[in-house]
A and B are shown apart, each in its own frame.
Chain A
Amino acid sequence: MLGDYSTDAEREALRVSLGLSGSTFEQYISFLMNLIHLDLGVSIFSGSSVTELIRQRLPATLELSAASIFLACLWGIPAGVFTSGTKSKSVDFYGTSVGVLGMSIPGYFLGPILIWIFAVYLGVLPVGGRGGFENLILPSLSLALPLGAILMRMTRASMQEALSQDYVRVAYSKGITKRRLYFHHALRNALMPIVTVVGLQIGTLLTGTVITETIFSWPGLGTLLFDAINQRDYPIVQACIIVIATIYVLVNFLTDMLYTFINPKVKIS
């Protein structure tokens, strides 16, 4: 950072200013103390507060993640329910195929394809950046399509399991409508694994945004992390990873809590 012609005194001063003067253990303790005070250090390059940078970037990432989860649930769960109880072999076949295909297309390929179709070829949507609603469509789509495919597979499997239960047959023999049978009887019981997957996928989604944000120049945590990695700006890298991992653990915890609401039989010890 100082170049080839720095003096020993300058190097020593830099070591002190970067907090590298103490032993590893002392450094770790001071890092933990700062973390408790939500002080994540300063950026090596810009010198600005990392906590402040993250506060600026986090809303964009949360907006993108929320939109993607919403879109994924919007197409994944109904598609799973629709293809679960079908007697039609072709619907079953196409359902499985769409699920496998969707799982196999990574967001970083879907992103450029969507850009090419909607921004380059048709020219109806912006290539990237954050702003109005139209900026949100492509990045959230490229995250939501693969995620929805996983949800669809899970919903389908879980629904098939629920539909094979005795209480479903009883309800059917009572003569209730198919819609009520599916959504009121079967889906409620099939919801547990679906909620688990949604919870787990939020973590995957947060890391997936690193790639998607760089593709669409979305000013969120992902681009912050990506730029910091390229600049070797370790305080920022460290802070981003801490924040994403914390959100991940928090979401998983909330998912566990949610179980008791969905299924009163579950007790959290």
Chain B
Amino acid sequence: MKHLKSNLFLSVGTLLILLFLATAIFSFSVSYNEANQISLADKFQSPSATHLLGTDETGADLFKKISIGTRISLTIAFSVVFVSLFIGLVYGSLSGYKGGKTDAVMMRALDLFYSFPGFLLALALVCVLGPSVRNLILALCITGWTGFARLVRGEVLHLKEMDFVQAARAVGCSQLRIVIFYIWPNMTGVLLVQSTFALAGTLIVESGLSFLGLGAPAHIPTWGSLLNSGKFYLVEAPHIAFFPGLCIVLLVLGFNLLGDGLKQVLDPKKASVV
């Protein structure tokens, strides 16, 4: 049952993510102008054959807008997690492997970031830097790398005492070589699971900021901004708010399911605990 469940989670999660990846690829065929095409005669149309997900308050096709939103969300989520992972990996490895005073100082510096709720810090940064996709990625990276750094440090502390690392040290491998070729490969599973959950978390924060109007500039449709404008038309056309929201839920769900499934497959012992 346990295996069946993890496989079910894995396959549903992968399927959802692939679905959105395909949508994102489709969106390259839609330009911003095309997606924002105003046609007031067609406004508030329910889903139909011509407009797959209906039209919004300006008469623009909702599916085209949502597909561009998919691309923006995925781009932001993947770049943020990739950069955060890289910074966290280097910072955490240095702190954990060096140990002693270096570790103490680096961890106190990390605590500074932890004394601030992540969403608030990202919000404050975007507010100061001004809303744009680049600034959003920057703000989310600044808040996102700390989790990875902490995880990596813990893993390094644990792994560096293992026999195979001692052996590598005994044959005279350099510190850099030990970290990169002996310690990092043994963390891939944990990092993969964490990255998947981080993708889900980043998506929620990113859409939240877009929802508040602090995401991409207004001419770029994002899930958050579509959901926000849709909430004014809940009476006339609830589908305008419903579809972008559903997309956020499904993609986040996809990543969470994939993470849960991966955790059970890669680390059955830990999976039963958390």
- Interface set of A (CB-CB < 8 Å, partner B): 89, 93, 96, 100-101, 103-106, 108-109, 111-113, 115-116, 120, 157, 160-161, 203-204, 206-208, 210-211, 214-215, 226, 229-230, 237, 241, 244-245, 248-249, 252
Whether B248 pairs with A106 at a CB distance below 8 angstroms is: yes
A204 to B5, CA, bound (A): 30
Whether B231 pairs with A100 at a CB distance below 8 angstroms is: no
- Given A96-B260, A106-B252, A204-B119, 4 more A-B residue pairs with CB atoms under 8 Å apart are A96-B5, A116-B242, A244-B120, A248-B115
Interface string of B167-178 (1 = CB under 8 A from A): 000000000000
Whether B117 pairs with A206 at a CB distance below 8 angstroms is: yes
B204 at interface, CB cutoff 8 A = yes
Residue A106 contacts which of B5, B120, B204, B256 (CB distance < 8 angstroms)? B204
Residues of chain B within 8 A of A120, CB atoms compared = 234-235, 238
Number of A-B contacts (CB under 8 A): 104
Residue A208 contacts which of B119, B228, B249, B253 (CB distance < 8 angstroms)? B119
Whether A112 pairs with B230 at a CB distance below 8 angstroms is: yes
8 Å CB interface, B223-253 against A: 224, 227-228, 230-231, 234-235, 238, 241-242, 245-246, 248-249, 252-253
A241/B120 contact (C-beta < 8 A), A120-B235, A210-B212 known: yes
A160/B272 contact (C-beta < 8 A), A112-B245, A245-B116 known: yes
Residues of chain B within 8 A of A203, CB atoms compared = 117
Whether B274 pairs with A108 at a CB distance below 8 angstroms is: no
Whether B234 pairs with A210 at a CB distance below 8 angstroms is: no
The chain B residue with its CB closest to the CB of A202 is B117
Whether A93 pairs with B208 at a CB distance below 8 angstroms is: no
Q: Measured between C-beta atoms, what is the minimum distance from B254 to chain A in Å?
A: 8
The 10 closest A-B pairs by CB, nearest first: A109-B245, A104-B253, A207-B119, A104-B252, A203-B117, A112-B231, A207-B120, A207-B117, A112-B241, A106-B204
Residues of chain A within 8 A of B116, CB atoms compared = 245, 248
A249/B115 contact (C-beta < 8 A), A112-B241, A157-B273 known: yes
Residues of chain A within 8 A of B252, CB atoms compared = 103-106
A238 to B63, CA, bound (A): 38
**What are 8 A-B contacts defined by CB distance under 8 Å?**
A100-B257, A103-B200, A109-B227, A115-B231, A120-B238, A207-B120, A241-B124, A252-B115
A103/B211 contact (C-beta < 8 A), A207-B117, A245-B115 known: no
Whether A106 pairs with B123 at a CB distance below 8 angstroms is: no
Q: Measured between C-beta atoms, what is the minimum distance from B10 to chain A in Å?
A: 12
B25 at interface, CB cutoff 8 A = no
Residues of chain A within 8 A of B228, CB atoms compared = 108
B147 at interface, CB cutoff 8 A = no
